[in-house]
Structure formats: structure tokens, C-alpha cells
Amino acid sequence: MKFLLTLLLISGLTAGQWEFKTVPSQSTMTILGTSSLHDWESKVGDFVVSGTMGENLITNLKVEVKVKSIKSGKSIMDDKTYDALKSEKFPTVYFTAESLALSGSKAEGLGVLTLAGVSRTISLEAQTTTKGAGTVQVNGEVSIKMSEYGIDPPTAMFGSLTTGDQVTIQYQLLLNK
């Protein structure tokens, strides 16, 4: 009897929930920043987003970004990025959130971003659009300061070119069952 009651309780709690992952061909992540010379951007080529989608909640959200997949189109800048992010010691950037609230077309909550071996709690807010059964589009951006993660903003040309401390990560994700 206890087993049946437990099974019914678990199935009631998970009704309407589904596991999701990004559809890589239809998802993008871009890092935007400034420098003393010009604004710059880098595209993230290798990332995975996964978790569980419910009616009013996203749970167990996990984002993994391979540092060496961040590309600007300029190899010198890419090398500076990898050095700044300490890619040899920390090859992956992580973001995790136990839960994000879903309300209307908005997802929001707190999560932990781990960058270059330093973890900090950040606030996340994104727009969501249901594309069909088991498919959701998520768009948003988050700004961080590199110095808060112990990262010295990269420099070039013997220090005459400096990057700004703040970077913005923009993402457009297609999440699918």
C-alpha cells in the first residue's frame, strides 16, 4: 500500500514535466564586450543546456560552455580570452540553477555561474515562447564583471589596448524534449 501511495505521489509531482536539451543548430550564445579601440563579440560554438521543464518551473538547469569553443574570428583575441579564462585549468564554464520560476512568457530566478574556477550567484531573467509540444524558445542576456571572477580584463599591444571589465552574454536557445 505504501509503495502504491508513493508511486502515485511521485507521478502527481512530475505530471506535465519533461526533460529538455538545447537544439544546437537552432541555438546561439554570444559574448559582447568593449575595448579602448572598439566593441567586440565572440560566438560560443560548443555549449549544452539541459534541465526539467514544468508548468510553472524550470528545475535542475545546467549550462556547460567549452571555453575553447569561444571564437571571435581573431586568433590573437581568442588566445587572450582562453588565457583570461584560465582554460587549461578550467576548460568549462558552468551555470546551474535549482529552479527558475515561469510566469507568462518570463523565466527568472537565481543560479550559480562558475567562471575561471570562481563561483558567484547571479540573477537570470529570460523571455520564453512555446513553439509546440515539448519545444520552447528562450531568449535573454546577462551582464557580468570579469573582475568579480578574479579575471583581469585582457590587454594587447603592450597594454595600449584594454578591454572593458563588463561583458554581456546573449543567448537564444531552442529547448526540446
Question: What pLDDT shows up at residue 13?
Answer: 41
Q: 72-122, pLDDT tens digit by residue?
A: 999 988 999 999 999 999 999 999 999 999 999 999 999 999 999 999 999
For 67, counting Cβ atoms within 10 Å of its Cβ (0-12 exposed, 13-18 middle, 19+ buried), the class is buried
Asked, for residue 2, whether it belongs to a domain, the answer is: no
**CA distances in angstroms from 128 to 93, 109, 174, 175, listed in the order given:** 23, 14, 10, 10
Return the pLDDT at 160: 66
Domain that holds residue 140: 17-176
Average confidence (pLDDT) over 140-165: 87
pTM for the full model? 0.87
Q: Give residue 133's pLDDT band: very low, low, confident or very high (50, 70, 90).
A: confident
For 69, residues 6+ apart whose C-beta sits below 8 A from its C-beta are 44, 45, 46, 47
Establish if 4 belongs to a structural domain. no
Reported confidence tier of residue 7, pLDDT bands at 50, 70, 90? very low
pLDDT at 9: 36
CATH number at residue 156: 2.40.128.110
The grid coordinates of residue 62 equal 545546467
- Residue 5 main-chain phi, psi, to 5 deg: -65, -45
Q: Number of structural domains, the chain?
A: 1
Chain segment 36-73, per-residue pLDDT in tens: 888 999 999 999 999 999 989 999 999 999 999 999 99
Inside any domain, residue 10: no
Q: Is residue 1 part of a domain?
A: no
**Structural domain contains residue 9:** no
In a domain? residue 162: yes
- Is residue 145 assigned to a domain? yes
Quote the cell numbers at residue 49. Answer: 543546456
What's the chain's average pLDDT?
89
Confirm whether 165 is domain-assigned. Answer: yes
The band of 12, judged by pLDDT with boundaries at 50, 70 and 90, is very low
pLDDT bin (cut points 50, 70, 90) of residue 3 is: very low
Q: What is the mean pLDDT of residues 130-144?
A: 94
